[in-house]
Structure 1
Amino acid sequence: MEKTRRSRAIQSTIITVRPAPGQKSRALVQFGAIVVPAAIGRSGRTVLKREGDGATPIASMKVLSGFRRGDRPTRLQTPLPIRRIRGGMLWCDQPEDPNYNRLVKAPFRPSHEEMKRQDGLYDVCLVMDWNVTSRARNRGSAIFFHLIKPGYEPTAGCVAVHPRDMRRLLPFIRKGTVVRVL
C-alpha cells in the first residue's frame, strides 16, 4: 500500500495548498497521496497580493530553487537545486530598491530578511516563483515554502510545514514543480 502511495506522489507535479477549515492561517498541503498540515499567511489567502499584507497569494507558483542552513545537520534528498545559506545572505523586501525580491549580500541598507535565521524557519527554504521571474513593485516578496514555527503559527505570506513533512515531500520536488494555492 505504501509503495502505491509513493508511486502516485512521484507522478504528481503539483503541490496543492487548500485552506483548512476553521482558521484562515492554516492549510492542508497535498502532493499525490501525501497530505500534511501547514501554516499560511496571518491574513489568510488573497488574489490581490501586496507587500506586507500578511497574505498568501492565491496562485500557481513554480518552485525555482531552494536553500538550506549549512551549519545545522540536515541531510536533504531532493533533485531540486539547493544552495547553502551562509552569513550575510539577505533577501530584499524593499519595493523601491532595484534588488526587490532578490537575494542580496550584506552589508545592505534597504529593508531585507535574513536568510540565516536563528528561529530555524529557513533551515530548508524553497523559492516559489511569486514575483521573482517577472517582478512588479509592491506585489510581495520572499514568498517561500519553508519550515513552521511551533504551533503552526501564521506566516507573513509563505507556506510552512513541519520539518518531518518537508523531508517527506523533498524527494519529489524538483525545479518546476507547481505549488498551487487555492
Structure 2
Amino acid sequence: MMRKRIRASKRAFGLWVMALVVAVKTFGAGLDSSVQQLIVSVAPDWDASTGKLQLFEKTNGAWKASAPAIPVLYGKNGLVWGRGVLGTDEPGTHKQEHDGRAPAGVFKIGTIYTYDPSLPSGAKYPFHTVGAGDAWVDDITSPDYNKHVTIPDPANPPPWFEKQKMRHGDFAYRWLVEIRHNSDPPAANAGSAIFFHIRRGPTRKTAGCTTMAEDDLVKLIRWLHADKHPHYALLPRAEYEAKWKAWGLPSPQEAAAVMP
C-alpha cells in the first residue's frame, strides 16, 4: 500500500512538473525583478502603424505611470513578433530584414547614439557620439550583423562601409535610442537597427522603428536611468490583454491611456 502511494505521489509530482513546463513555455517567465522602468506601447492590431506610448516606473512593487501618453508611429506594414527578452518564442510570423514591420515583444533598452557631444541637459545614460567611422551592420551574411561597429580608418573604409555607415546630419537620427531587438545574440535575417528616434512627420510611418515628436523623445531620454534597467514592451492590444499578467506588465487598467 505504501509503495502504491509513493508511486502515485511521484506520478502526481511528474504531472505537476509537466504542467509547469507547459505554462512557462506558453506564458513566459515574465520580466526580471531588476526592471524598474518600462516603456509601454499598445497597437490596435498587428497591421497598425500608429499607437500610443507611456512611461512607467515600479514603486513599492507596482507600476505607476510617470508621464502622459504620447502618439507614436511603427512600421509601415504594422507589427510582427521580434526577438527580445519576452515574445521570442511565440507562435506566428517573426520579423525579418526589410519587412517594414516593428518587432513586438519586450526588449532591453541599449545605448543612445547621437550626433551631439552630449545628451540633452539633465540626461544621464550611456551614449555614443556617432563619428565618421561608425556603422550599423544590416548585411545578413556578416558576422557583425545587427551590431554597431567602428572602423579604424574612415579615410580608407572597407567596401561594405558606404552602404552601412550611420548617417550624419539627418534630423530624424539626432537621437537614436537602441531597442535591443535581435541582439543577444543576433540571428541572421531576423531584423536589425531598431531604435526610438524622431519622427519625420505626424503620419510618416517607419521601416520598423518606433518614432515620436522630438520633444517627447528628449523627455524619454531624460527619464531613462541605466540602474533601473529600462525595457520596452510593444504589443497589439489582444496580445497585451492576454499576456500582461504573466509577463509582469502594467494591467490594462493601469495602461488605459495607451490602450486603443
In the alignment, is the contact (CA less than 8 A) between 2:119 and 2:127 conserved in 1?
no
Shift of the alpha carbon at 1:114? 3.6
Q: SS of the residue aligned with 2:171?
A: coil
The equivalent of 1:19 in structure 2 is 43
Q: Which amino acid in the other structure matches residue 15 of structure 1? A: I
Shift of the alpha carbon at 1:172? 1.6
2:71 pairs with one of 18, 37, 49: 37
1:68 aligns with 2:114: yes
The equivalent of 1:5 in structure 2 is none
Hey, what's the Cα distance between the residues in 2 that align with 1:159 and 1:174? 20
The equivalent of 2:9 in structure 1 is none
More helix by share: 2
The equivalent of 2:85 in structure 1 is none
Hey, what's the Cα distance between the residues in 2 that align with 1:36 and 1:12? 20
Q: Which amino acid in the other structure matches residue 214 of structure 2? A: P
Q: SS of the residue aligned with 1:132?
A: coil
1:91 pairs with one of 125, 136, 139: 136
Hey, what's the Cα distance between the residues in 2 that align with 1:79 and 1:17? 23
1:177 aligns with 2:230: yes
Q: Which amino acid in the other structure matches residue 105 of structure 2? A: A
1:109 aligns with 2:167: no
In the alignment, is the contact (CA less than 8 A) between 1:76 and 1:167 conserved in 2?
no
The equivalent of 1:131 in structure 2 is 182
Q: Give the TM-score, by structure 1 length.
A: 0.83
Shift of the 108–77 alpha-carbon distance from structure 1 to 2, 3 Å rule, reads farther
Count of aligned pairs between the two proteins:
170
Flag structure 1 segments of 5+ consecutive residues without an equivalent: 1-10
Shift of the 76–90 alpha-carbon distance from structure 1 to 2, 3 Å rule, reads farther
1:143 aligns with 2:188: no
Shift of the alpha carbon at 1:88? 2.9
Higher mean displacement: 115-124 or 90-99: 115-124
Q: Give the TM-score, by structure 2 length.
A: 0.60
Shift of the alpha carbon at 1:76? 4.2
Higher mean displacement: 106-115 or 152-161: 106-115
In the alignment, is the contact (CA less than 8 A) between 1:40 and 1:56 conserved in 2?
yes
More strand by share: 1
Q: SS of the residue aligned with 1:65?
A: strand
Flag structure 2 segments of 5+ consecutive residues without an equivalent: 1-34, 56-64, 82-93, 236-260
- CA RMSD for the aligned pairs? 2.3
Higher mean displacement: 168-177 or 113-122: 113-122
Shift of the alpha carbon at 1:19? 1.5
From the CA coordinates, give the structure whose radius of gyration is larger: 2
Q: Percent identity?
A: 25
Q: Which amino acid in the other structure matches residue 150 of structure 1? A: G
Shift of the alpha carbon at 1:87? 2.1
Shift of the 144–91 alpha-carbon distance from structure 1 to 2, 3 Å rule, reads same
